[in-house]
Chain A
Amino acid sequence: ELKVEQNPLFLSMQEGKNYTIYCNYSTTSDRLYWYRQDPGKSLESLFVLLSNGAVKQEGRLMASLDTKARLSTLHITAAVHDLSATYFCAVDSRETSGSRLTFGEGTQLTVNP
């Protein structure tokens, strides 16, 4: 059974600081997704990482994928309050022919002024 673990689960940081969220998964996969969820809202796609060594950046967020280590990171640079949200990573297992995402527990990020 595919397992996806995120850490930390809760992250409180000050504006202007940097931090990294980690996502470990338990089985071979080369499709990893990062989503953002605001309270009471749906999931917003942030990044899709499709190969080993993939790196994508959007604004203050940068995501990377190491399929050999089964690890993805979401790095936050110079955080601002608007980044406060819950961030999920999700893995699409190769074991199924269709679409079946397994999500991490989510990291609740709070950026304080």
Chain B
Amino acid sequence: KAGVTQTPRYLIKTRGQQVTLSCSPISGHRSVSWYQQTPGQGLQFLFEYFSETQRNKGNFPGRFSGRQFSNSRSEMNVSTLELGDSALYLCASSLLGKGFREQYFGPGTRLTVT
């Protein structure tokens, strides 16, 4: 079974631009979560989507948004990029289930904002 895939793997953008990152979950997984990892703040939850609906949201400004498609693939968008948005963005997918929801992480997208 293929794992979680993320594209692109590396990205360089300029301040003020916007960026879209993509995540394809493991086949059959309907929940997709996004996390940001930076040296200063560590790993922080951005949002979670399930059945095309945002189910949870972390404490990030409105510049960070996402969506999920009917095939469970998800995209996240960051508008008006700031230097502080430079980070590793990780996507994780999980099966729907009560209680136990192990998350499987993709390889990440390394975003550099200059």
Contacts and interface: CB of A to CB of B under 8 A. Distances in A.
A75 to B, nearest CB: 22
Nearest to B47: A100
B100 A98 contact: no
A48 interface: yes
Interface in B65-108: 90, 92, 94, 99-108
A31 B97 CA distance: 13
A43 B45 contact: no
Interface residues of B, number: 25
Nearest to A94: B99
Interface in B42-61: 42-45, 48, 50, 55-56, 58
B56 A98 contact: yes
Looking at B42, B43, B101, B102, the one whose CB has the most chain A CB atoms below 10 A away is B43
Contact of B55 (A97, A104, A105): A97
- How many interface residues does chain A have, given as a range? 20 to 34
Interface string A79-104: 00000000010101000111111111
Interface in A44-82: 44-45, 48, 50
A42 B56 contact: no
Given A42-B107, A43-B105, A98 B31 contact: yes
